[in-house]
């Protein structure tokens, strides 16, 4: 492999060991880490505001503290290594991904600051400026102020944002609010993980995947809240099944996913067949397999359902017109997750 520093323009994905949300700490290890934090330290001493959502929520997308009866503050942070080679697109994707944690709680982002790690002796600061410009464009298009941030000299390029939002305390989207009888809706197609892996290996650009990752979850979040949906999460590094498992675990229900109804990006299935599967996706599959009845689902379907997404859509317990229903919520059964493959009977969601 050639030295990425000699390429003009430099391929950003060649400077990182993993890409996007696929570079997350494996979910099983993260569960243990979070559990140790909860056990070792108690609640804040004499807090100024009431904590509505924290570590005890089962892994919700952001922390929430109450301001008053109609307002609560949502706070989150998200950053990752390059998922695409174009610096402006990476900035757009990273910003949309960070803002998504607020949308996944049913909130509205109001202010953000940049988080930047940069190998200044390997990559020019002009490239970093393009990353920041992409992030600013998406934040401003979301109506979110972007002011300053923090940067460090790093071995790998990393970018993201810390975001503050607001939400009505009684209109939040929570993992633990899914109840039996509700349909499951997914608002973006899967496949960014395997297409990003192919992009990193070959340099092939997938414009549909880029625009999907850079798209805000704002409209879907607003529509879900207005329709009375109260349970949801965004689908990112732990894959559809990983995030579905967190929802099923928090709500003590079983989620049924119809693999034939899950939308995929063009080229995603071929990328799996050609072996472009990240280590993060395989770790996701290893993690959720003991909790999943896969039935007749093929090996490729399992990998796609566990594919480590970057800036994915919302998984909602409720129906949202214009987006596909991919499953349903059932009372807790033998497995928290059930996957229906080809040849199954149609779902009976009402």
Cα distance between residue 61 and residue 191, in whole Å: 21
Q: Is 23 a catalytic residue?
A: no
Q: What are phi and psi of 221, to 5 degrees?
A: -65, -45
Are the C-beta atoms of residues 80 and 21 closer than 8 Å to each other?
yes
Maximum distance among all Cα pairs of the chain, rounded to whole angstroms: 58
Of the listed 21, 23, 161, 167, which one is catalytic? 21
| Sequence-ordered strand ranges (E) for the chain | 50-53, 63-66, 72-80, 108-118, 145-153, 158-167, 183-186, 232-234, 253-258, 292-293, 314-317, 325-331, 337-340
Number of Cβ within 10 Å of residue 266's Cβ equals 12
Helix/strand/coil for 90: helix
Q: Scanning the structure block, which residue is given the tokens 């899967």?
A: 190
For the record, the structure tokens of 104 come out as 């996944």
Cα distance between residue 19 and residue 266, in whole Å: 20
Buried b (16+ CB within 10 A) or exposed e, 100-130: bbbbbbbbbbbebbbbbbbbeeebeeebbeb
Residues serving a catalytic function are: 21
């Amino acid at each position: 492999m050639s030295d990425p520093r000699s390429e003009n323009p430099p391929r950003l994905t060649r400077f990182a060991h993993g890409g996007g949300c696929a570079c997350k700490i494996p979910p099983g290890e993260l569960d243990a880490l979070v559990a140790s934090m909860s056990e070792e330290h108690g609640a804040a001493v004499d807090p100024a505001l009431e904590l509505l959502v924290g570590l005890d929520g089962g892994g919700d997308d952001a922390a929430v503290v109450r301001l008053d009866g109609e307002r609560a503050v949502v706070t989150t942070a998200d950053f990752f290594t390059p998922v695409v080679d174009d610096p402006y697109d990476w900035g757009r994707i990273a910003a949309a991904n960070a803002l998504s944690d607020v949308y996944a709680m049913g909130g509205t982002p109001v202010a953000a600051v940049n988080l930047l790690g940069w190998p200044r002796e390997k990559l020019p600061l002009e490239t970093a400026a393009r990353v920041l410009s992409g992030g600013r464009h998406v934040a401003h298009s979301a109506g979110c102020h972007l002011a300053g941030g923090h940067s460090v000299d790093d071995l790998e390029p990393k970018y993201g944002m810390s975001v503050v939002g607001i939400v009505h305390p009684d209109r939040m989207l929570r993992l633990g609010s899914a109840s039996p009888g509700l349909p499951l809706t997914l608002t973006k197609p899967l496949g960014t993980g395997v297409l990003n892996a192919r992009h990193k290996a070959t340099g092939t650009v997938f414009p549909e995947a880029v625009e999907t990752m850079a798209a805000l979850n704002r409209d879907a979040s607003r529509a879900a809240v207005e329709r009375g949906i109260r349970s949801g999460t965004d689908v990112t590094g732990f894959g559809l099944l990983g995030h579905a498992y967190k929802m099923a675990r928090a709500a003590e229900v079983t989620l049924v996913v119809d693999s034939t109804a899950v939308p995929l990006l063009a080229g995603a299935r071929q990328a799996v067949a050609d072996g472009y599967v990240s280590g993060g996706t395989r770790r996701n599959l290893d993690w959720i397999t003991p909790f999943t009845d896969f039935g007749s689902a093929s090996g490729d379907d399992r990998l796609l359902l566990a594919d480590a997404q970057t800036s994915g859509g919302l998984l909602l317990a409720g129906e949202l017109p214009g987006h596909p229903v991919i499953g349903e919520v059932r009372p807790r059964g033998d497995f928290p997750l059930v996957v229906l493959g080809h040849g199954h009977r149609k779902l009976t969601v009402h």
